[in-house]
Amino acid sequence: MKYRTVAVSTAAALAATALLSGCGSDDGGDGPAASGPASLTYWAWAPGLDKVAALWNDGPGKEAGITVTVKKQASGDDLVTKIITAAKAHKAPDLVQAEYQALPTLVSNDVLADISEEAGDAEDAFAEGIWQQTTLGSDALYALPQDSGPLMFYYRQDLFAQYGLTVPTTWDEFAETARALKKKAPDKDLTTFSSNDSGLFAGLAQQAGAQWWTTGGDKWKVAIDDPATRKVADFWGGLVKEGAIDNQPMYTPAWNKALNTGKQVAWVSAVWAPGTLTTAAPETKGKWAMAPLPQWTAGENVTGSWGGSSTAVTNDSKHKKAAATFAKWLNTDPAALAALVKEGGIYPAATAAQTGGALSEAPDYFSNQPAFYTEAAKIAQGTAPAAWGPNVNVAYSAFKDNFAAAAKNRSDFGPALAAMQDATVADLKKQGFGVSE
């Protein structure tokens, strides 16, 4: 993670109720109407968004006099850096695609407008845990959810049957399944713990109830090394230490081969996993199945998120109402959502679009599981809220550094988690944020 957030005053880094007092959507450019005429610029990286915008421009946008031009950008940290730089020069676009974990950084840098008055009525279109990520737990609304990545459990049906394994419904059962496989096939692993996937670890912590960043008064509180996350770290660290699962990172040629040959027989991932498996393990098409993420308490339906992004309106926009109108259409209108799925290949955050229509059929790789998206929608409803802060990049970098060493050495994960906490707190203080101990 390369970008650095700009230090803001403690007063500006207040509680999530109003991280910035200057983020209202008082809109001098739109006049009394929520529409145009207006020409809007939208910075985004998702594929096909230009085609979705064309639907708007030829339909509702034409009627309202609002034209949207998509300008393709790099994703992740590169876009965050670029948008902050542009905002400092008061040259930010009207709209920007922003990952959920980047929203506090953008808000604390005075980039994003509060569009609660223009689009707050869209709340019921999304799962509570997803909506919360765009409000930062406040009465403000800094973006509209676009896509999401609920976590779930993927496994090789044929190998589970061959080795007499039962799909785990709890994490205790998951551990026992890993051990059972090792006894029956010492050369195989249920899965691996990957030290290069900060987002997956964050999602697993969310499922356990972690809230890594919260605010109180004018200070941030960091709780990465909290009981919920320690439970997750100890669980995975214990499995790695005893050799019940592998300790190699994902997204490497070796990992691809392990999936493709059946050396690894399961994967904890998100709803977008079919696309990855298509290229990583092409020879196992039709042999995998998806199930809910194992639970900490039997019978619950709670999952975390790995990935996902939103559509935000910037403070530099001269047409905030028009921009919010487009953002709301893009992420709630049935035609727009269908186009997002078709052209962008996303899993929509809007619950109404998670089944039927463009998602009426299972991914081709999972043609053996016709109800794939029906099951995924049920899982997504249980998405736990995430609590992001203004230096997620630092926390993620610290995770990779410290957990990589712990996983490689098969040592306790506790010290690695403490180091992640310490690095995050130290960076917040260095930037000038108030931090409560």
> What's residue 372's pLDDT?
97
The secondary structure of 193-220 as a DSSP string is: --TT-HHHHHHHHHHTT---EEEETTEE
Neighbours of 255 (CB within 10 A): 20
Residue labelled with tokens 């809109």? 27
What is d(CA 23, CA 69) in angstroms, rounded to the nearest whole number?
24
The pLDDT tens digits for 181-224 are 999 999 999 999 999 999 999 999 999 999 999 988 889 999 99
- Tell me how many degrees the CA angle 259-263-264 measures, rounded to the nearest 5: 60
Sign of the torsion angle spanned by Cα atoms 314, 320, 326, 332: positive
The H or E element spanning position 267 is strand 266-270
- CA–CA separation, 146 vs 326, rounded Å? 12
Predicted pLDDT of residue 24: 36
Amino acid symbol at 157? Q
Instruction: Tell me the whole-structure pTM to 2 decimals.
Output: 0.89
Model pLDDT, residue 27: 40
Q: Helix, strand or coil for residue 25?
A: coil
Given a cut of 50, the residues of the chain with pLDDT beneath it are 1-29, 31-35
Our CA angle for 23, 34, 119, nearest 5°, is 55
Residue listed under structure tokens 């922003």? 98
User: Under 8 Å CB-to-CB from 426, ≥6 apart: which residues?
Assistant: none
Environment class of residue 182 by beta-carbon count within 10 Å: exposed (0-12), middle (13-18) or buried (19+)?
Answer: middle
Provide the pLDDT for residue 76: 81
Interacting residues of 384 by C-beta distance below 8 A, sequence separation 6+: 129, 206, 207, 209, 302, 303, 304, 305
Quote the pLDDT of residue 9: 32
Cα distance between residue 61 and residue 40, in whole Å: 11
CB atoms within 10 A of CB 164: 9
Quickly count: other Cβ atoms within 10 Å of residue 411's Cβ.
Answer: 14
Report the distance separating Cα 380 and Cα 255, nearest Å.
Answer: 27
Residue 96, SS3? strand
Residue 30 to residues 40, 66, 112, 318, Cα–Cα distance (Å): 12, 11, 17, 7
Could you give the C-alpha distances from 156 to 37, 208, 364, 369, in angstroms and in order? 54, 25, 16, 12
Residues 70 and 93: their CA atoms lie apart, in Å, by 10
